Amino acid sequence: MSTRIRELRERLNLTQDELGTRVGVTRQTIIAWEKGQRDPSMAQLTALSGALDVPVELLLRQPGTAPDRERPVILYRADRRSALTETDEELMGRRASDYALVERLAGALPLLPESRPMDGFEADLVERVADETRDWLGVEDAPLGDAIALVERRGLKVIRARLPDKVFGFSAYTEEWGGVIFVNTHQGGKALPYERQAFTTMHELGHLIFHRREYREPTTIEAKKDPRELVADHFAGAVLVSANALRDDVRNYRGRWIPEPLLKDLKLRYGASVQTILYRLKNLGLITEKQFYQQFGLLKKKYADTFNEPPGADCQPSLAQPRLTILVFTALVNDKIGESKAAEILGWPQQRIRDELEHWLPEDGGA
């Protein structure tokens, strides 16, 4: 338990003082728990689980004693499997399993685009599949708008959570679950901008389309640059930013320096980072590679504290209800799960579940 408390605290970038304040104990008590010198009481365990956003049983469980369940082979972005601890994997596996459960109870089907196996990197094929995916999402050449909500509406499971800084996201696939995309919401103690989370979502969708067979039989890449990452990065940019639309938007600036106000406008229009916009311009031959590095280098120098993004062009976070929330309350209204299970799945206090449930029930006794 001591190791798990420390790992989960560090995952949230909390100091021992900050965790102590959340739980209602002193820093010295947290130190004693993390060193295994003392165990928390059941009341303190309940407070700890709330402060760390994990079930009590995860804190109590000994390493290697997780309940039997299908444990997926996970393909990580940049293959940083070692960046996640056993606790991280178990927690994310539990969330995916709960999502799949409530999906079944609500009668929803997990959907995923057709698998398109690719061993190397073929830019033209990636562009064609990206166009097909945009059609599958129902947008063709139009901006995606709320990209994450759009993916969820098509039936993919997207789980946004705070993960270690070395991980932007990862994905999993099993026959039972279908595809699951995990997206890190923070880096360096700061909330990642929505457009970065959207890029990670599309990046992992690329893995699920092009590399699905490797979730069962993963292969090791010996080259310095993993071609699977090139595929997923190119795919993410191509889905977020339509080639046809971008060519039209910069028709007066081909081969020229792209003004910062225009980059900010493109960012807001497509819901993609300025870095993604510049990569798309380079990949489509609309600017040279030299120009790309010059412009991107200047952005890194000017805006190092804002993820290399110019201020005043913040893409709005998703305002749509997460698909999991809708499914949980659908199951709750239809008596498929109880309030305590709903609270556990969503990580909400039970009173919040009761308050929200009032808005889901028919008014005036209606059917």
For the CA atoms of the chain, what is the radius of gyration? 22
If you ran DSSP here, which 8-state letter would residue 170 be given? E
**Consecutive H or E run containing 161:** strand 157-161
Q: Which long-range contacts (CB under 8 A, 24 or more apart) does 46-53 make?
A: 47/22, 47/23, 48/5, 48/23, 50/22, 50/349, 51/19, 51/22, 51/23, 52/5, 52/8, 52/9, 52/12, 52/19, 53/12, 53/162, 53/347
**Consecutive H or E run containing 181:** strand 178-184
Q: How would you write the pLDDT of the chain (367 residues) with one tens digit per residue?
A: 778 888 888 878 889 999 999 989 999 999 999 888 888 888 888 888 888 877 777 777 655 544 444 455 566 554 456 677 778 888 888 899 999 999 999 999 888 999 999 989 999 999 999 999 999 999 999 999 999 999 999 999 999 998 888 889 999 888 888 899 999 999 888 899 999 999 999 999 999 999 988 887 656 665 567 899 999 999 999 999 999 999 999 999 999 999 999 999 999 999 999 999 999 999 999 999 999 999 999 999 999 988 899 988 889 888 889 999 999 999 999 999 999 999 989 988 889 999 999 999 987 655 5
For the chain, give every domain's residue range: 1-65, 104-306, 323-365
- For helices 194-210 and 123-137, angle between their N-to-C axes, nearest 10 degrees: 110
Rounded Cα distance, 303 and 263, in Å: 14
- CATH assignment, 1-65: 1.10.260.40
